[in-house]
Amino acid sequence: MVMKPAEIPSFLLFLFTAIIVLYAFSSRFCIAQVNSSSSNSCATYGRCGYYGSCNSLNSPICTCLRGFDPRNKQEWDTGNWTSGCVRRVPLNCESNNGSTTRVDGFLKLQMMKISVYSDRWSGPEGECEGRCLRNCSCMAYGYDVGIGCMFWSGSLIDVQNFPSSSGSDLYIRRLLLLVPNATSLGFVRIYDKKKAGDGYHITYVPFCPMFVK
């Protein structure tokens, strides 16, 4: 039996209207909850943009890798991190000015989730760094026992920091300062500003010139 609108009792109209309104409200609430949840998730590819690192336990979840600053500070402060980060100081390879007072090196980041889009080479772990260093387009490298050396060219994206020890070590290319009075000893002096203070931590590492044919 089909009833005309005028024949439907008022209490039924009220009931149907209440159900529809409640359903609409619930749907919007669920969507809002999903959107709210996803906004705090590192699962979205490239959530923090180029050279940004995501950690779901941090607030905000995105930070720039050490040595990088937000590309768009205004967007970054509002929670839109997709523009990513830019390097504070150009690499020696990028400057291409023939200077002998600067050399590139690598910053080790631990417990990182690394992108699967990498070039691979089944060589020993000890040769990964040198192979990446000789290639100006190589921006980072890593090593896995089952894979070998992994290299990333161009800008890094989709980097995540795991809160546990389940991640991998990732080595990010960066500029190191070469002090002239230290070269006679065969060492490069690296000035690495600590996160916790304004002082500088001075480390000496062997400097071995490389000649590429």
Q: How would residue 147 be classed by pLDDT, with cut points 50, 70 and 90?
A: confident
Residue 42 lies in a domain: no
Domain-embedded: residue 19: no
Give yes or no: residues 149 and 170 share one domain.
yes
Looking at the structure, do residues 172 and 183 belong to the same domain, yes or no? Answer: no
Point out the least confidently predicted range of 16-25, 73-82, 152-161, 191-200: 191-200
Share of the chain above pLDDT 70, in %: 56
Comparing 53 with 205, the larger pLDDT belongs to 53
- The answer to the question of residue 7 being in a domain is no
Q: Are residues 61 and 130 in the same domain?
A: yes
Whether residues 75 and 93 share a domain: the answer is: yes
Residues 57 and 148 in one domain: yes
Q: What distance in Å separates the CA atoms of residue 159 and residue 154, rounded to the nearest whole number?
A: 14
84 and 167 within one domain: yes
Contact 186, 206 (CB under 8 A): yes
In a domain, 171, yes or no: yes
Burial 142-176, CB ≥16 within 10 A → b, else e: bbeeeeebbbbeeebbbbbbbeeeebeebbbbbbb
Q: What is the mean pLDDT of the chain?
A: 68
**One domain, residues 107 and 85:** yes
pLDDT exceeds cutoff 90 at 202: no
200 burial type by CB count under 10 A (0-12 exposed, 13-18 middle, 19+ buried): exposed
| Tens of pLDDT, residues 101-143 | 457 888 888 888 877 777 888 888 889 998 998 888 899 999 8
Band (93; pLDDT cuts 50, 70, 90) = confident
The sign of the CA dihedral 180, 109, 165, 167 is negative
Please name the amino acid found at residue 24.
A
**Domain membership of residue 194 as a residue range:** 178-208
Q: Is residue 192 part of a domain?
A: yes
> CA quadruple 32, 62, 169, 156: dihedral positive or negative?
positive
Specify the pTM: 0.60
Count of Cβ atoms closer than 10 Å to residue 55 Cβ: 18
Q: Is the pLDDT of residue 6 over 80?
A: no
By DSSP bridging, strand 52-54 and strand 159-161 are: parallel
Measured between alpha carbons, how far is 37 from 59 in angstroms, rounded to an integer? Answer: 14
pLDDT: is 22 or 164 the higher one?
164
DSSP type of residue 85: E
Number of domains in the chain: 2
Q: Please tell me whether residues 105 and 192 are part of one structural domain.
A: no
201 shares a domain with 140: no
Judge whether 134 lies within some domain.
yes
Co-location of 129 and 145 in the same domain: yes
Same domain, 145 and 193: no
Is residue 114 domain-resident?
A: yes
Residues 126 and 196 in one domain: no
Q: What is the pLDDT of residue 34?
A: 36
Is residue 12 situated within a structural domain? no
Measured between alpha carbons, how far is 181 from 190 in angstroms, rounded to an integer?
Answer: 13
- Between residues 177 and 137, the one the model is more confident about: 137
Question: What residue ranges in the chain does DSSP mark as E strands?
Answer: 52-54, 62-64, 68-70, 85-87, 102-113, 119-121, 138-144, 148-153, 159-161, 168-177, 187-193, 200-206
**53-71 pLDDT tens trace:** 999 888 899 999 988 999 9
* Residue scoring higher pLDDT (91 or 7): 91
Give how far Cα 155 sits from Cα of 41, 116, 140, Å. Answer: 22, 14, 9
